[in-house]
Amino acid sequence: MTAEHVSPSKLPMPLSPLDGWQAAFDALPDVVAVSEITFTAQLNLRVDPSGAAAGAVAKVLGSALPVQPCTSTRSGDFLLLWLGPDEWLILAPEGAGLELETALREAIGDGPGAVTDVSAQRSTLALSGPASRELLAKGCSIDLHPKVSPTGTCVQTLVAQTGIIIVVRDETASDFLLLVRASFAQYFAAWLIDAGVELTGGC
């Protein structure tokens, strides 16, 4: 039986690898707040930023693609992350992936480029709170000081030996978005909880 013969109601409910972890996140000290943003639609976009398709893609997304390395652009509900000189990750609300994927594919047309739905590839965590930089610094060498990493910064790096995309959503609120490969999500969540234990202060 192929996928199209299964009615949507019979498909299994999506299950996040971090299902059931929120209670442990909530037990972290008050100086950090961690929560998962489930089932974000994620599209990997490959296109030449100087080519004709880039303009059509920008029209679909409502904003030009960020071409400055290690930056991101917010456009309405979409978050456009720079992954490479010709590669971006588009974050969109849950369920918006298919429509956006189709529109982007039409925008690219027959020219060089690709759009791939990679929604299940990464889990998304929101990290905020006054000690969030201190928490990340325990496993990450990137300088996240607002002077160096202002709002919109998007770096791909290693945190606790795991490949993570860090997006600075708000430098003053110390609000970060962390994207981790789904198969590493539980390891990373366990690391966050372990690293957060020391943040209680006063001990």
Partner 1 sequence: MQLISCPWCGPREEAEYHYGGQAHVAYPHEVGALSDADWAHYLFFRDNPRGPFAERWVHAAGCRRWFNAVRDTGTHEILAVYRIGEPQPELGRQASR
The footprint of partner 1 (CB under 8 A) covers: 69-70, 83-85, 87, 141, 155-158, 161, 163
Measured from the CB of residue 132, what is the shortest distance to partner 1 in angstroms? 21
Nearer to partner 1, 158 or 173 (CB): 158
Alpha carbon 96 to chain centroid, angstroms:
15
Give 147: exposed, middle or buried? Use CB within 10 Å, 0-12, 13-18, 19+: exposed
Nearer to partner 1, 33 or 137 (CB): 137
Measured from the CB of residue 87, what is the shortest distance to partner 1 in angstroms? 8
Q: Taking Cα atoms as reference points, which of 164, 162, 155 lies closest to residue 71?
A: 155
Measured from the CB of residue 59, what is the shortest distance to partner 1 in angstroms? 26
Alpha carbon 136 to chain centroid, angstroms:
16
Nearer to partner 1, 158 or 190 (CB): 158
Amino acid 141 reads S
Residues 6+ apart with CB under 8 A from 158: 140, 141, 164
Measured from the CB of residue 191, what is the shortest distance to partner 1 in angstroms? 16
The b-or-e profile of 40-63 (16+ CB within 10 A means b, else e) is bbbbbbebebeeebbebbbebbee
User: Helices 97-108 and 52-61 sit at what angle, rounded to 10 degrees?
Assistant: 150
Measured from the CB of residue 22, what is the shortest distance to partner 1 in angstroms? 28
Nearer to partner 1, 8 or 85 (CB): 85
Distance CA 184, CA 187 (A): 5
Nearer to partner 1, 7 or 141 (CB): 141
